[in-house]
């Protein structure tokens, strides 16, 4: 007996289920004649007729009824064998402070995707406080934040960020006027850092723009609405550090802290890619 062709067995099962050569051919993307030829060769290899054909209908022969359940098991086993290398994509829930990535987000995501295409990233961007709370609640596998206080001293310090007083290059400030700030709403670690620095410097300030996210703050700064505290690389084009121009206090640096719930090789490799992308 010749070894039956697996494609012919697949065609036979479709015809048996659909009771139609035409419909089976449509599903397989071929012709009725090609299906007929496959099944004819299958019958020849088995030495038994499997189907009874009339102008009105297609039915199983006695031999076909016997062959049908074994053919189903054979095809199921064959398909399962081919899936032996299939693995579901792993999902990693990553949350990052927008003060760390912000406008660099697309650059980082590109590097992460290239580092491990088998990982599906469920990404969150927000304040350091929000990302840390989500991590503590188990909603994130990885959190990358700025440390603004001593509430937690764990985590892995992977870098440090320095902040400048950024404004549009043409921004002007009247003598004695309160410093107009583009700032985030409370509660916010960055807002607290900025207000504390100005109060220690005995410098009056006012809210010129309140918005969530470094992209919103950057847009307000670029529009000349106010001055914003941000990492210089996050500032939009045409913005400069105006600390010296307006005699503003130096802002303290902040550690970039990584929290990671997993220590496997794959996760550590992705974390390394993340850290390198931020430093680049």
Q: At what angle do helices 62-82 and 6-18 cross, to 10 degrees?
A: 120
Using only C-alpha atoms, the chain has a radius of gyration, in whole angstroms, of 33
What is the CATH code of the structural domain delimited by 6-85? 1.10.10.10
Most confident of 62-66, 100-104, 147-151: 62-66
Residues of the chain with CATH 1.10.10.10: 6-85
Report pLDDT digits (tens) over 204-214.
999 999 988 78
Please, is 154 exposed, middle or buried when counting C-beta atoms within 10 Å of its C-beta (0-12, 13-18, 19+)?
Answer: exposed
Inform me whether the pLDDT recorded for 130 exceeds 90: no
277 pLDDT band, cuts 50/70/90, is low
In the chain, DSSP assigns E strands to: 51-53, 58-60, 90-97, 119-126, 142-146, 156-161, 164-168, 179-183, 205-210, 228-230, 239-241, 254-260
Question: What is the residue-averaged pLDDT of the chain?
Answer: 84
Round to whole Å and give the CA distance between 175 and 248. 13
Round to whole Å and give the CA distance between 91 and 269. 15
Task: Provide the pLDDT for residue 221.
Answer: 92
Task: Provide the pLDDT for residue 139.
Answer: 92
Inform me whether the pLDDT recorded for 150 exceeds 70: no
Residues of the chain with CATH 3.40.190.10: 90-161+255-279, 164-252
Inform me whether the pLDDT recorded for 188 exceeds 70: yes
Sign of CA dihedral 226, 228, 232, 233: negative
Inform me whether the pLDDT recorded for 165 exceeds 70: yes
Inform me whether the pLDDT recorded for 225 exceeds 60: yes
* Percent of the chain surpassing pLDDT 90: 25
Inform me whether the pLDDT recorded for 26 exceeds 90: no
User: Class of the 164-252 domain?
Assistant: alpha beta
Task: Provide the pLDDT for residue 254.
Answer: 87
Task: Provide the pLDDT for residue 280.
Answer: 52
pTM of the model: 0.60
What is the CATH code of the structural domain delimited by 90-161+255-279? 3.40.190.10
Inform me whether the pLDDT recorded for 91 exceeds 70: yes
Query: How many whole angstroms from its chain centre is CA 141?
Result: 13
Task: Provide the pLDDT for residue 256.
Answer: 87
End-to-end CA distance of the chain, in Å? Answer: 65
182 pLDDT band, cuts 50/70/90, is very high
Residues recorded for the chain:
280
């Amino acid at each position: 007996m010749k070894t039956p062709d697996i494609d012919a067995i697949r065609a036979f099962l479709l015809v048996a289920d659909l009771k139609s050569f035409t419909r089976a051919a449509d599903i397989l993307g071929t012709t009725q004649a090609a299906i007929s030829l496959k099944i004819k060769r299958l019958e020849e290899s088995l030495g038994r007729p499997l189907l009874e054909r009339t102008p009105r209908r297609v039915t199983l022969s006695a031999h076909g009824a016997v062959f049908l359940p074994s053919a189903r098991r054979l095809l199921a086993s064959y398909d399962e064998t081919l899936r032996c290398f299939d693995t579901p994509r792993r999902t990693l829930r990553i949350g990052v402070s927008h003060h760390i990535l912000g406008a660099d987000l697309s650059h980082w995501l590109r590097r992460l995707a290239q580092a491990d295409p088998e990982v599906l990233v469920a990404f969150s961007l927000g304040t350091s406080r929000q990302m840390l709370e989500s991590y503590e609640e188990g909603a994130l596998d990885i959190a990358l934040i700025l440390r603004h206080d001593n509430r937690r001293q764990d985590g892995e310090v992977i870098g440090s960020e320095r902040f400048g007083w950024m404004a549009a290059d043409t921004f002007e400030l009247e003598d004695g006027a309160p410093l107009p700030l583009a700032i985030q709403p409370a509660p916010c670690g960055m807002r607290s850092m900025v207000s504390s620095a100005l109060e220690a410097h005995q410098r009056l300030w006012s809210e010129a723009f309140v918005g969530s996210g470094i992209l919103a703050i950057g847009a307000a700064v670029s529009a000349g609405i106010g001055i914003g505290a941000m990492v210089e690389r996050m500032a939009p084009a045409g913005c400069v550090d105006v600390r010296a121009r307006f005699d503003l206090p130096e802002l303290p640096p902040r550690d970039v802290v990584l929290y990671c719930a997993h220590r496997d090789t794959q996760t550590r490799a992705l974390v390394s890619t993340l850290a390198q992308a931020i430093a680049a």
